[in-house]
Amino acid sequence: MGMVGGGRGAFIGAVHRMAARLDGEIDLVAGCFSSDPAKSKASGADFFLDPARVYASYEEMAKREAALPADQRIDFVSIVTRNNTHFAVAKAFLEAGIHVVCDKPLCFTLKEGRKLRDIVQKTGLVFALTHNYTGYPMVKEAREWVRTGKLGRILKIVVEYPQGYAITALDQKGDGAISNWRMDPSVSGASNCMGDIGTHAHNLARYITGLEIEEICAELSTFIPGRPLDDDGNCLIRFAGGARGILFASQISNGDENNLNIRVYGTKGSLEWHQEDPNELVFKRADAPPVTSRRGNNYLSAAAQGATRTPFAHPEGFIEAFANVYRSAATAIADAVAGRKAPKDGYDFPTVDDGIAGLAFIESAVKSSQAGAKWVKFPKL
């Protein structure tokens, strides 16, 4: 694979590389790691790449890689740049005939996202979006529970994503600075907190339950003075089919680390999952004791078992979940490259459509909040 973005010091680029590498099926062989050509070269050297395939711009990279013989050029590109460039970079590679794995959110705006969807559809290429939290085996198990009716009809969803790191910006210390570009509307988009992590929460709920939002009432707040974008948001949600929901995301939840979690309540039972304790999934119902399913066991669904690398209680974590997105996307790409048909049940990785839903969530939340936290209809995707 090749990579755009993710040079020295970039957190998420390093995660993408570890995730891609884990299973021994993907090698990084080319890249444009920075808009600064010198930095790009230096990063390429860090990764032991052939200097000839470390490019000064993504346009050059797309063009020159596409011109290589099929058995030499990259099979796909991984895009880990800032939000406002996803569209242009993805477009360049797709139009050069190269498959794409792209970090979330999909694009800068919903409008842009729809254009990208058109391009993906037109080219017929694989486009995977790294909503990595759905890569956890027990999240896949949760989805199976909903699909197979174990929960009955879904009545209520509570999904949370509290973090606290931004609070350190109050006294200018710690990791609050991490979020700087995320706080710039010209780079990050209409929202910081909803775009960065709220969209993960939304995607998680949508992946597990399959339910689309019908209406949303959102109140976004900026608690850190001087910031142009939100650092906290609380939403009430009406889902299609009558389920009610609460979604909140926050970067000022002092002392929380990366506490994404979800509870889904159904007529026959409920489930609960916490990203910080990802190897467990709890099933609860009113007339029986709670049952805690654990990753790696034979009693789990094929979906959960297939997304696992180590035996039970040899804990898996964030990188392994991320690697599951890569592995599924790589399978799809390998099939495409080899001209194989997709399996009957399809592949299990987030697509451009999931990205569209995510952008719709972000924009609807912002719209509702700007109207004073009034209910707004969710757009047609």
Q: Classify strands 375-377 and 213-221 as parallel, antiparallel or unpaired.
A: antiparallel
Site string for a second copy, 23-42 (x = CB under 8 A): xx---x--------------
Strand partners, 236: 217, 246
Binding of a second copy by 47 (CB under 8 A): yes
Name the residue nearer to a second copy (CB basis): 40 or 234.
234
Nearby residues of 164 by Cβ (< 8 Å), 6 or more positions away: 250, 251, 252, 253, 254, 255, 256, 257
Per CB under 8 A, contacts with a second copy among 6-25 are 11, 14-15, 17-18, 21-24
Name the residue nearer to a second copy (CB basis): 192 or 279.
279
Name the residue nearer to a second copy (CB basis): 121 or 267.
267
* Binds a second copy (CB under 8 A): choice among 155, 187, 303, 381: 155
Q: Where do the H-state alpha helices sit in the chain?
A: 11-21, 37-46, 58-67, 86-95, 110-123, 137-147, 185-188, 193, 199-209, 302-305, 318-338, 352-370
Binding of a second copy by 374 (CB under 8 A): yes
User: To the nearest whole angstrom, how small is the minimum distance from the Cβ of residue 274 to a second copy?
Assistant: 10
138 CB-side CA count, 13 A: 27
Per CB under 8 A, contacts with a second copy among 72-131 are none
Other Cβ atoms less than 10 A from the Cβ of 277: the count is: 12
Name the residue nearer to a second copy (CB basis): 114 or 309.
309
Name the residue nearer to a second copy (CB basis): 291 or 337.
291
Binding of a second copy by 173 (CB under 8 A): yes
Name the residue nearer to a second copy (CB basis): 269 or 358.
269
Site string for a second copy, 175-214 (x = CB under 8 A): x---------------------------------------
Nearby residues of 320 by Cβ (< 8 Å), 6 or more positions away: 22, 135, 309
Name the residue nearer to a second copy (CB basis): 53 or 91.
53
Binding of a second copy by 370 (CB under 8 A): no
* Binds a second copy (CB under 8 A): choice among 97, 312, 342, 377: 312
Nearby residues of 2 by Cβ (< 8 Å), 6 or more positions away: 28, 29, 30, 31, 32, 53, 61, 65, 74, 76, 77, 78, 98
Name the residue nearer to a second copy (CB basis): 275 or 351.
275
Alpha-carbon distance values, 48 to 27, 54, 62, 76, 79 (Å):
11, 10, 20, 19, 19
Rounded to an integer, what is the distance from CA 348 to the centroid of its chain? Answer: 13
The C-alpha atoms of residue 45 and residue 377 are separated, in whole angstroms, by 50
Binding of a second copy by 306 (CB under 8 A): no
* Binds a second copy (CB under 8 A): choice among 9, 45, 276, 337: 276
Binding of a second copy by 285 (CB under 8 A): yes
User: To the nearest whole angstrom, how small is the minimum distance from the Cβ of residue 109 to a second copy?
Assistant: 26
Site string for a second copy, 240-269 (x = CB under 8 A): ----xxx-x-x-xxxxxxxx---x-xxxxx
Specify the amino acid at residue 282. V
DSSP structural state of residue 103: P
